[in-house]
Chains A and B, each alone.
Chain A
Amino acid sequence: MKRYSFVQLLRNAIGLGDGWQQAWRSPEPKPSYDVVIVGGGGHGLATAYYLAKNHGVRNVAVLEKGWIGGGNTGRNTTVVRSNYLWDESAAIYEHSLKLWEGLTQELNFNVMFSQRNLVMLAHTEHEMIEASRRVHANRLNGIDAEIWSREQTLAFIPILNKSMNIRYPVMGGSAQPRAGIARHDAVAWGFARGADALGVDIIQNCEVIGVRREGSRIVGLDTTRGAIDAKKVAFVAAGHSSVLASLAGFRLPIESHPLQAMVSEPIKPVLDTVVMSGAVHAYVSQSDKGELVMGAGIDAFNSYAQRGSLPILEDLASAMVELFPIVSRLKILRSWGGIVDVCPDASPIIGRTPVDGLFINCGWGTGGFKATPGSGWVLADTIANDRPHALAAPFSMERFASGRLIDEHGAAAVAH
């Protein structure tokens, strides 16, 4: 792999270079691999990258039924933060955030990670108390977090609705200065390019249609591009995790729902941070192109359709207009949906499954993008060493029987 650099850019621009290489190969699947990862989104590709990079496991394939990054990796609102309430969540998301901070250099691919602060608004006395509880919990876990007054919040976000005569006036909020946004496609492409350079085969248009077992052990997969033997397999398939689990003969505590988002027409810079509000249920940032990128809550019903219902977007639009009256006449350019895998406690499942040699990473629900590098890191370690990584251990599937849930639902509210 030729490294991207300013010199290379300059040489190619003036015709002295030897052109641009393909960023990753498109190999035919080999008959057998040490590890096969099912799902070529950010998490799957990151898992393959860290398997090769940190653990020297290079006979690895990533199978993707569509194209890489075409699922939730390319459908989210790109928010990256780590200010979660519970210790287990804070640990894994903060590990991920630290990886984000060096990811562009690590991958030699500009993921455009922009740490632009993130403000979670509080609209009631009770929300202020909850915000301060979370800020203290974050600080005990070594995460940067601040509690902001109404004046501080309004000064930092000038377009916020300043009126006290609305249903949810801004009382203040909590902020995480190191949080921000990133370019989601670049994350998938960067990990793909990095993994490919280390020998990983990325196989697109390859859907898994069967799981081959010998006794309680997985020995391979049937795919639309033929049978592939594997010593170990990891399912990293987000919204389609239940489909894969049923092929392998077990169930998951997961329901798949549409999660919708939309962008406005591009306007001049008005918002240089990320704003989230649980009370009116919206989260928004402004992209480098000038579009306001807005996210909503999930549609209530189960779906695999990558589209949701209009009332969800209407609610989002009304929330936006209440928070930022100046956006009321903006046109919406496009809206879309992804299929998110929602766990009962809004925390992921990472680790082993009832099938020997089969690992799973799923249940990130509405908030998986921010965890991409951290999730890949801990799953790669879990696969390579056949035991849960310390940060992944609390997120095992056994917690649903033991009762040790990591309930981020109330703590995270909308805001994933």
Chain B
Amino acid sequence: MLLIPCPYCGERTESEFRYGGEAHFRRPENHLEATDEAWADYLFMRKNPKGWHRERWMHIAGCKRWFYVVRHTVTHRISSVYKVGDPLPDLPS
């Protein structure tokens, strides 16, 4: 069970949140020109790392706002959370 520190509301249990998957990938800029491969890359391809992962969460039973979490996919430890628009914190070494 994760204890997630919402940047707006503080620490709450995982069941208050909705997971949004990998963070920070971009929609193809020029969507009329973008190739099928570029769309597939955006829609489906994921890093899915075994290690530190930047991911999106939404506090659905609280402030209902999206934010970012850096979490380890083996230990489940959360190293930092940050708001949309904040500078990206470094991944722990």
Contacts and interface: CB of A to CB of B under 8 A. Distances in A.
Contact of A304 (B44, B46, B74): B74
B46 A252 contact: yes
B50 A304 contact: yes
A401 B74 CA distance: 30
B40 A305 contact: no
Contacts of A402: 36
B2 interface: yes
Nearest to A256: B48
Contact of B45 (A253, A302, A304): A253
A303 B49 CA distance: 9
B47 A242 contact: yes
Interface SS majority for chain B? mixed
Given A253-B44, A301-B19, A305-B73, A401 B1 contact: no
A97 B43 CA distance: 33
A231 interface: no
Interface residue tally of chain A, by bracket?
20 to 34
Interface residue tally of chain B, by bracket?
20 to 34
Interface string A314-342: 00000000000000000000000000000
Contacts, number: 71
B51 to A, nearest CB: 9
B40 A251 contact: no
Interface in B34-93: 36-37, 39-41, 43-50, 53, 55, 71, 73-76
B44 A301 contact: no
A254 B73 contact: no
A400 B41 CA distance: 9
Contacts of B48: 242, 252, 254-256, 302
Contact of A301 (B36, B49, B50, B55): B55
A300 interface: yes
Nearest first, the 3 A-B pairs at minimum CB distance are A253-B44, A242-B48, A300-B19
Contacts of B75: 305
A389 interface: no
A243 B50 contact: yes
A309 B40 CA distance: 31
B74 A255 contact: no
A215 interface: no
Interface in A374-410: 400-403
22 contacts: A253-B40, A253-B44, A256-B50, A256-B73, A300-B18, A300-B19, A301-B2, A301-B71, A302-B48, A302-B53, A304-B73, A304-B74, A305-B73, A305-B74, A305-B75, A310-B1, A311-B1, A344-B43, A344-B44, A400-B45, A401-B36, A401-B40
